[in-house]
Structure 1
Amino acid sequence: MGTEHDSGRRWTVGELARATGVTVRALHHYDQLGLVSPGERTASGHRRYTAADVRRLYRVRGLRQLGLSLPEIAVVLDHGGADPAALRQLLDAQLRQVRVQIERANRLEIHLTELVAQLDAEDVPRPDQFLTTLETMSMYERYFSQDQRDRLAERRAALGTEAVDAARAEMSTLIEEAIRHQRAGTPVDDPAVRDLVGRWTGLGALLGTDGAREQASAGRLWDDHREEISRRMPWPAEDFLAAVEYLRAARGAGRAV
């Protein structure tokens, strides 16, 4: 198309649309914004695009592919590249947005991978259990900061699927032991309960949930939604709620010793 530019060719809006792949509607929109407008008129008054207009259109498309908005592109083109600092500022801002989008995509990938793994497991969850998982994710994000969620996800990734699954199985075992001790009325300072609390704390250290901030976030989530969370567990809600409170009391007793 460069030889046609050099020969002084002029294009109607339809011809330019066919030659460049830009829709007529988009060209009209660019014209209305003053971004790319036909630079000449024929003797009969018809507007035509010149080679300079086509070059400007390609610059618009290139900047658009970088994610710049049309108003931002107008600023760049109107300065003719004579203000590198202004262009650098726009590109820096765009780069920050792209990095945020990448982080969001990475977090979404982690969530989707976990849900797909859950669906691929031998014991495939019912649709209502799947939706419950999604709801729990939303609840979790309200109480844990992005930094906390990222660090916990990194810890899970470092441990690997098998280790995380083993930790979850151990956690279920500990909850069942806590339920039995709570039902039996075992004192929270009993050696067996202290051992149980120690193993619970060890799991927290393994999964990265033992930090003060993480424990505070988990505590707030539990205090605000204990009944709802208990209903979602595979144990009777009243048993699970009582077991968690029993473990909290046992941990408190351990600190007091």
Structure 2
Amino acid sequence: MDHPDEHCWSIGELAAATGVTVRALHHYDSIGLLQASVRTTAGHRRYTRQDLQRLYGIRTLRSLGVPLGGIAAVLDQPGGGPESIRNLLQRQLDAVGGQARQLDQLQQTIRELLDRINNDGDAAPALFVTVLEGMSMFEDYFTEDQRRELAERRAHLGRQATEDARTEWAGMVEEGLRQVDGGIPATSPEARDLVRRWDELGSRFHSSEGTKEAARAMWNGNSGELSKALPWSAQQMQALVAHLQGAREAG
């Protein structure tokens, strides 16, 4: 039906005025998200000012990454559904936060891989395999919440502090291996001091016992594979872990 007293837009005019393609408008129509309120006697679509306002709402929510299904559920609420919009945006904010953390993890992994390739370019193919294996193990042993916790802790520390911690950790590994090679008992003051500093360093990245236990389980189950990415052999690292555990139990 025509509405002679109200300004209406054809689908082409609406596309030109809003920057939304005709194809997108046809898609919105087909899924019931935005259907023209008016049809001419010849059956042509005509969009009203109310339709235009709905389209702007769609574009706004789409720009925030909200899926079309979620947009329809909100816009179809009486009065615009303020509470539904709030809940939708909160869910979207949570989802974006999760994506940001995943991107942070990916960025860190890429940086680490680049650093290692730059240090040993000939080993690049092997490094790719090692990194992929490590990522798979990480997902097997740590829950999604634990992975998020670790990413948040690392982001809070910052890249420089993380690199400094790695350097400090490598120094403690060398110190521990010297104790093992020198036959220093795990009950000695030197060993107990080392494990204290070792655990303090780990606490910078682990805010709960759950992530610590997951890390130990991953190492215990995959020490051989994980050692491929380290400058020390699996046997050396296993001996060091046993030495530290003995010192930890000795108090």
Pairing 1:193-212 to 2, within 5 Å after superposition: 194-208=189-203, 212=209
SS of structure 2 residue aligned to 1:37: coil
Alpha carbons of structure 1 residues 102 and 196: separation in structure 2 relative to 1, 3 Å: same
Count of residue pairs brought into register by the alignment:
241
How far, CA to CA, are the matches of 2:228 and 2:117 in structure 1?
21
Question: Does structure 2 conserve the Cα–Cα contact (< 8 Å) formed by 1:39 and 1:53?
Answer: yes
Which TM-score applies when normalising by structure 1? 0.72
1:171 — aligned with what? 172
Letter in 1 for 2:59: R
Give the match for residue 34 of structure 2. 36
Give the TM-score of the pair, scaled to structure 2.
0.74
CA distance in 2, matches of 1:155, 1:97: 20
Deviations 1:111-158 (A, max 9, x none): 4444444455x5557212254234324423543423651465257538
1:190: Cα distance to partner?
A: 6.9
Q: Which runs of 5+ in 2 are unaligned?
A: none
2:237 equivalent in structure 1: 240
Q: Could you say what secondary structure the match of 2:79 adopts?
A: coil
| Matched residue, 1:3 | none
1:206-249 deviation per Cα after TM superposition (whole angstroms, max 9, x unaligned): 34268754543333223222333345433343343344334434
- Distance in structure 1 (CA, Å) of the matches to 2:28 and 2:239: 65
Q: Distance in 1 between matches of 2:39 and 2:230?
A: 74
3-state secondary structure, aligned to 2:36: coil
Between 1 and 2, higher relative CO (CA 8 Å, sep ≥ 6) is seen in 2
Cα drift, residue 107 of structure 1: 3.6
Aligned residue in 2 for 1:149:
150
Larger Rg: 1
Q: Secondary structure at the match of 2:7?
A: coil
Once superposed, what is the RMSD of the aligned Cα atoms? 3.5
The answer for the alignment partner of 1:8 in structure 2 is 7
Task: State the partner residue of 1:21.
Answer: 19
1:178-206 Cα shifts (integer Å, max 9, x gaps) = 5524xxxx363574xx5145224313313
In 2: Cα distance, 1:84 partner to 1:222 partner: 49
Q: Deviations over 1:9-29 (max 9, x none)?
A: 531x33433333222221111
Deviations 1:79-124 (A, max 9, x none): 353542233222232232233333333343444444444455x555
Distance in 2 between residues matched to 1:219 and 1:37, nearest whole Å: 57
